[in-house]
Amino acid sequence: MQSSKNPDFDVTYRRHGDTLRFQVSGDVDSQEARVAYWQEIVNIIKREGLRKILVVDRKKRVPASQAQMTQLASVMKVHSDIVDWVAIVEPSLEFVSAAEHAEIEGRAVGFNVRVFSYVEDAERWLMYGLSDQA
Protein backbone atom coordinates (compact mmCIF):
# COMPACT_ATOMS: atom_id res chain seq x y z
CA MET A 1 0.00 0.00 0.00
CA GLN A 2 1.45 3.32 -1.04
CA SER A 3 0.89 6.51 0.90
CA SER A 4 1.07 10.26 0.50
CA LYS A 5 1.52 12.43 3.58
CA ASN A 6 0.11 15.88 4.22
CA PRO A 7 -0.27 17.51 7.66
CA ASP A 8 -4.07 17.66 7.24
CA PHE A 9 -4.77 14.28 5.62
CA ASP A 10 -3.26 11.03 4.45
CA VAL A 11 -4.11 9.28 1.18
CA THR A 12 -3.15 5.63 0.89
CA TYR A 13 -3.88 3.51 -2.15
CA ARG A 14 -3.39 0.14 -3.75
CA ARG A 15 -4.25 -1.57 -6.99
CA HIS A 16 -7.04 -4.09 -6.78
CA GLY A 17 -7.43 -5.69 -10.21
CA ASP A 18 -8.45 -2.92 -12.61
CA THR A 19 -9.31 -0.54 -9.77
CA LEU A 20 -7.33 1.90 -7.65
CA ARG A 21 -8.58 1.77 -4.08
CA PHE A 22 -7.96 4.88 -1.97
CA GLN A 23 -8.28 5.38 1.77
CA VAL A 24 -8.41 8.97 3.03
CA SER A 25 -7.76 9.73 6.68
CA GLY A 26 -7.30 12.91 8.69
CA ASP A 27 -9.10 15.18 11.10
CA VAL A 28 -9.25 18.43 9.14
CA ASP A 29 -12.72 19.20 7.73
CA SER A 30 -11.69 22.28 5.74
CA GLN A 31 -12.52 22.80 2.09
CA GLU A 32 -8.81 23.40 1.42
CA ALA A 33 -7.95 19.94 2.76
CA ARG A 34 -10.82 18.38 0.77
CA VAL A 35 -9.66 19.93 -2.51
CA ALA A 36 -6.03 19.04 -1.74
CA TYR A 37 -6.71 15.35 -1.12
CA TRP A 38 -8.83 15.08 -4.27
CA GLN A 39 -5.97 16.71 -6.20
CA GLU A 40 -3.63 14.12 -4.69
CA ILE A 41 -6.00 11.36 -5.83
CA VAL A 42 -5.99 12.85 -9.36
CA ASN A 43 -2.18 12.88 -9.40
CA ILE A 44 -2.07 9.22 -8.39
CA ILE A 45 -4.68 8.26 -11.03
CA LYS A 46 -2.63 9.98 -13.72
CA ARG A 47 0.53 8.21 -12.57
CA GLU A 48 -1.05 4.75 -12.22
CA GLY A 49 -3.27 4.90 -15.32
CA LEU A 50 -6.28 2.93 -14.06
CA ARG A 51 -9.74 4.28 -14.91
CA LYS A 52 -11.83 2.84 -12.06
CA ILE A 53 -11.43 4.21 -8.55
CA LEU A 54 -12.89 3.46 -5.16
CA VAL A 55 -12.42 6.15 -2.51
CA VAL A 56 -13.13 5.35 1.13
CA ASP A 57 -13.50 8.76 2.72
CA ARG A 58 -12.44 9.52 6.25
CA LYS A 59 -14.70 9.86 9.23
CA LYS A 60 -15.59 13.50 9.66
CA ARG A 61 -17.06 15.69 12.32
CA VAL A 62 -18.76 18.08 9.90
CA PRO A 63 -20.04 17.24 6.40
CA ALA A 64 -19.20 19.44 3.44
CA SER A 65 -21.89 21.95 2.54
CA GLN A 66 -23.67 21.89 -0.80
CA ALA A 67 -21.74 25.01 -1.82
CA GLN A 68 -18.46 23.27 -0.98
CA MET A 69 -19.47 20.21 -3.03
CA THR A 70 -20.37 22.47 -5.95
CA GLN A 71 -16.99 24.17 -5.69
CA LEU A 72 -15.15 20.82 -5.50
CA ALA A 73 -16.99 19.56 -8.60
CA SER A 74 -16.04 22.73 -10.42
CA VAL A 75 -12.36 22.29 -9.48
CA MET A 76 -12.40 18.60 -10.48
CA LYS A 77 -14.29 19.11 -13.75
CA VAL A 78 -11.09 19.35 -15.80
CA HIS A 79 -10.18 15.81 -14.71
CA SER A 80 -13.39 14.01 -15.69
CA ASP A 81 -11.68 12.46 -18.73
CA ILE A 82 -9.12 10.48 -16.71
CA VAL A 83 -11.59 8.10 -15.02
CA ASP A 84 -14.56 6.04 -16.15
CA TRP A 85 -16.00 4.96 -12.79
CA VAL A 86 -15.78 6.67 -9.38
CA ALA A 87 -17.19 4.93 -6.31
CA ILE A 88 -17.10 6.89 -3.06
CA VAL A 89 -17.76 5.28 0.31
CA GLU A 90 -19.01 7.68 2.98
CA PRO A 91 -18.39 5.85 6.28
CA SER A 92 -20.37 8.32 8.40
CA LEU A 93 -23.95 7.24 7.78
CA GLU A 94 -25.31 10.55 9.00
CA PHE A 95 -23.33 12.30 6.23
CA VAL A 96 -24.48 10.14 3.30
CA SER A 97 -27.11 12.66 2.20
CA ALA A 98 -24.44 15.38 2.00
CA ALA A 99 -22.19 13.01 0.04
CA GLU A 100 -25.05 12.25 -2.32
CA HIS A 101 -25.05 15.94 -3.24
CA ALA A 102 -21.42 15.42 -4.30
CA GLU A 103 -22.67 12.60 -6.55
CA ILE A 104 -25.17 14.97 -8.21
CA GLU A 105 -22.54 17.67 -8.67
CA GLY A 106 -19.98 15.18 -9.99
CA ARG A 107 -22.40 13.81 -12.56
CA ALA A 108 -23.23 17.34 -13.66
CA VAL A 109 -19.59 17.93 -14.62
CA GLY A 110 -19.09 14.59 -16.37
CA PHE A 111 -18.11 12.01 -13.76
CA ASN A 112 -19.75 8.58 -13.60
CA VAL A 113 -19.83 8.68 -9.82
CA ARG A 114 -21.85 6.90 -7.14
CA VAL A 115 -21.86 7.28 -3.36
CA PHE A 116 -22.20 4.24 -1.12
CA SER A 117 -22.43 3.57 2.60
CA TYR A 118 -20.58 0.25 2.41
CA VAL A 119 -17.39 -0.81 0.65
CA GLU A 120 -18.95 -4.08 -0.54
CA ASP A 121 -21.70 -2.21 -2.43
CA ALA A 122 -19.15 0.08 -4.07
CA GLU A 123 -16.98 -2.88 -5.12
CA ARG A 124 -19.98 -4.68 -6.56
CA TRP A 125 -20.96 -1.58 -8.61
CA LEU A 126 -17.41 -1.21 -9.92
CA MET A 127 -17.30 -4.88 -10.89
CA TYR A 128 -20.81 -5.54 -12.24
CA GLY A 129 -22.77 -2.29 -12.36
CA LEU A 130 -23.90 -0.64 -15.52
CA SER A 131 -22.63 2.80 -16.38
CA ASP A 132 -25.30 5.38 -15.74
CA GLN A 133 -23.78 7.30 -18.65
CA ALA A 134 -24.77 4.60 -21.19
pLDDT in tens, 4-61: 667 788 999 999 999 999 999 887 778 888 899 999 999 999 999 999 999 998 766 7
At 96, is the pLDDT very low, low, confident or very high (cuts 50, 70, 90)?
Answer: confident
Q: Is 45 left (phi over 0), alpha (psi -120 to 50) or beta?
A: alpha
| Alpha helices by DSSP H, 18-95 | 31-48, 66-76
Question: What domains can be seen in the chain, in order of their start residue?
Answer: 2-128 (3.30.750.24)
- pTM of the entire structure? 0.85
Range 78-95 average pLDDT: 88
- How do strand 52-56 and strand 113-116 relate by DSSP bridges? unpaired
- Of residues 19 and 63, more confidence is placed in 19
